[in-house]
Amino acid sequence: MPLFDIYISPDEPVYVISVVSKLVDLPVWTLRQLDKAGVVHPKRIGKKSRLYSLKDIKRLEYIHYLMEDKHVNIHGIKIILEKEE
């Protein structure tokens, strides 16, 4: 059976919010709040659907670390990320 390698650009938004929620262990409502606060910028499909890229997921892993391990709130996370960019 042949093995196919599929390349997906890290910038390509392909992951739906429910999958991202499981991958980064953050509730969907938290992901929505992070989007609303401008901390992450998933691509919008229509009015409701959000699609995340691998880069977004990596950023959310860091955000999860800040929230859970360092107890930083969303406003604090936004400031930290802005300073790092």
Specify which residues 49 forms β-bridges with. 45
Greatest Cα-to-Cα distance within the chain, rounded to the nearest angstrom: 50
Tell me the CB-side half-sphere exposure of residue 58, using CA atoms within 13 A: 6
* Phi (first) and psi of residue 55, to 5 degrees: -60, -40
Average pLDDT over residues 22-31: 97
Tell me the CB-side half-sphere exposure of residue 31, using CA atoms within 13 A: 26
For 38-76, what is each residue's pLDDT tens digit?
999 999 998 889 999 999 999 999 999 999 999 999 999
**Cα(36)–Cα(69) distance, integer angstroms:** 23
Query: Whole-structure pTM over 0.85, yes or no?
Result: yes
- Domains of the chain from N-terminus onward: 15-84 (1.10.1660.10)
Cite the beta strand spans of 1-85 per DSSP E: 15-16, 43-45, 49-52
Tell whether the model's pLDDT for residue 21 goes beyond 90. yes
